[in-house]
C-alpha cells in the first residue's frame, strides 16, 4: 500500500482553466467563497479572458463595431454642421409677409407689436404701401418715371420684413416659422428663400434616413459577429463550463463573464470610433481653416456635443451586451 508521499496530484486535463478551476481540480486548498469585490474582480478577469482567448475573432468584431459607429457618428456630425451653417447663413435670410389689402390698420399695428415681442423674431421692419412704391421706384433707377401714373392707385401691398432668431434657423424651423405667419388672417402671402431651404432640408432628411438605415444594418451584422465570437469561446471552454456546472456554479456565475466580454468589445469599438472621428474632424477643420472657396472663407465646423458622444459609447456597450446575450441563449444551456 503506497503511503501519502507516493500520492501524486495529476495535472488538470486539457480545457480546464487556471486559477479558480485549477484550485478546484487539485483539491489542495479550500475554495474561497466569492462575494462583493472579489466576485466582481473574478467577473472582470474572466471577461477579459473571454476577449483574449480568441484574439483574431475579437479584433474583427471590435473593428466592425468601430467602423459602424464611426460611419453613424459621421452622419450625425454632418447633419449638425449643416444645421450650424444654415443658422449662420440664415441671418441674411429675410422673410417678407405681405399684408392683405383689406386689413384694418389698427389690427395690422397690433400684429406688428405682437411680432416685435415674439421670441422667434430677431428684427422687424414694417413697410407701408408708400414705402414699397418708393423702394420699387428706386430699384428701377432711370426708369422710375414709369410709375408716375400710379399716384393714388398704388398696387403694391404693405409688408412686414422679418429676420428670425438664430435658434429658428435650424433645418425645418424656417418653414415652420413661415407657416406660422402664413396662417395668420391678416397675411396674404409669405415670401422667402424657400428653394434653397427646401433643398438643404431634403438633403439632410436623406442623410438622416440613410444614416439610420445603415446603422440598423451594420449593428445587426455586429450583433451576429459578437454572437459568433462568443459561440466560439463557449465551444473552446465547454469542458471548463461543464466542470463549473457540476460543482454547482450558478447560471450568473457562468454567464456574466461572457456578457462582460461583449461589453468590453462594444466599449473598445465605440471608443476607437470616437478617437478616429475626433482625429478626422481635427484634420478637416485644420484644412478648412486655411482654405477658401471662390475667395470666401469656409465655415468652422463643430464636433458632436458631449451627450451625443456618450450616447454613441453607450450604444456600443449595449450592442456588445446584446450580442453576448444572444449567443448565451442560443448556444449555452445555463
Phi, psi at 187, each rounded to 5°: -95, 130
β-partners of residue 189 are 98
Please name the CATH architecture into which domain 94-192 falls. 2-Layer Sandwich (3.30)
Per-residue model confidence as pLDDT tens digits over 10-32:
444 444 444 455 555 454 444 45
Look at residue 15 in the predicted model and tell me its pLDDT: 43
314's torsion region: left (phi>0), alpha (psi -120 to 50) or beta? alpha
Residues near 325 by beta carbon (within 8 Å), at least 6 away in sequence: 259, 262
Confirm if 125 and 163 have CB atoms less than 8 A apart: no
Model confidence at 268, pLDDT cuts 50, 70, 90, reads very high
pTM of the model: 0.60
Confirm if 53 and 61 have CB atoms less than 8 A apart: no
3-state secondary structure 119-141: CCEEEEEEECHHHHHHHHHHHHH
Q: Is 113 exposed, middle or buried (0-12, 13-18, 19+ CB in 10 A)?
A: exposed
C-alpha span between 35 and 96 (Å, rounded): 71
Is the pLDDT assigned to residue 36 strictly greater than 70? Answer: no
Q: Which helix (H) or strand (E) holds 93?
A: none
Is the pLDDT assigned to residue 73 strictly greater than 60? Answer: yes
Look at residue 2 in the predicted model and tell me its pLDDT: 46
SS3 of 278, please?
Answer: helix
Domain ranges (residues) in the chain? 20-24+38-86+200-289+297-331, 94-192
State mean pLDDT over 202-218: 76
Amino acid at each position: 500500500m503506497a503511503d501519502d508521499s507516493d500520492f501524486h496530484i495529476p495535472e488538470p486535463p486539457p480545457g480546464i482553466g487556471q486559477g479558480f478551476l485549477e484550485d478546484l481540480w487539485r483539491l489542495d486548498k479550500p475554495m474561497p467563497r466569492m462575494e462583493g469585490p472579489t466576485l466582481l474582480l473574478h467577473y472582470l478577469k474572466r471577461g477579459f479572458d473571454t476577449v483574449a482567448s480568441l484574439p483574431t475573432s475579437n479584433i474583427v468584431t471590435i473593428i466592425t463595431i468601430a467602423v459602424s459607429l464611426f460611419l453613424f457618428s459621421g452622419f450625425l456630425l454632418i447633419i449638425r454642421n449643416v444645421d450650424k451653417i444654415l443658422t449662420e447663413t440664415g441671418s441674411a435670410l429675410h422673410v417678407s409677409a405681405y399684408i392683405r389689402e383689406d386689413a384694418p390698420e389698427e389690427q395690422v399695428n397690433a400684429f406688428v407689436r405682437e411680432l416685435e415681442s415674439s421670441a422667434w423674431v430677431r428684427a422687424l421692419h414694417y413697410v407701408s404701401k408708400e414705402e414699397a412704391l418708393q423702394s420699387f421706384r428706386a430699384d428701377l433707377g432711370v426708369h422710375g418715371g414709369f410709375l408716375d401714373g400710379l399716384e393714388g392707385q398704388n398696387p403694391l401691398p404693405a409688408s412686414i420684413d422679418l429676420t428670425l432668431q438664430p435658434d429658428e434657423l435650424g433645418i425645418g424651423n424656417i418653414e415652420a416659422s413661415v407657416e406660422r405667419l402664413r396662417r395668420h388672417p391678416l397675411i396674404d402671402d409669405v415670401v422667402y428663400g424657400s428653394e434653397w431651404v427646401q433643398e438643404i432640408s431634403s438633403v439632410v432628411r436623406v442623410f438622416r434616413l440613410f444614416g439610420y438605415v445603415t446603422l440598423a444594418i451594420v449593428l445587426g451584422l455586429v450583433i451576429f459577429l459578437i454572437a459568433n465570437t462568443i459561440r466560439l469561446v463557449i465551444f473552446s471552454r465547454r469542458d471548463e463550463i461543464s466542470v463549473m456546472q457540476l460543482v454547482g456554479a450558478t447560471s450568473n456565475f457562468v454567464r456574466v463573464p461572457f456578457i462582460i466580454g461583449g461589453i468590453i468589445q462594444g466599449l473598445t469599438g465605440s471608443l476607437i470610433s470616437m478617437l478616429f472621428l475626433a482625429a478626422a474632424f481635427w484634420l478637416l477643420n485644420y484644412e478648412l481653416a486655411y482654405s477658401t472657396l471662390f475667395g470666401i472663407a469656409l465655415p468652422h465646423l463643430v464636433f458632436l456635443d458631449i451627450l451625443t458622444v456618450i450616447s454613441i459609447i453607450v450604444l456600443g456597450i449595449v450592442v456588445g451586451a446584446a450580442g453576448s446575450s444572444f449567443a448565451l441563449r442560443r448556444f449555452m444551456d445555463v
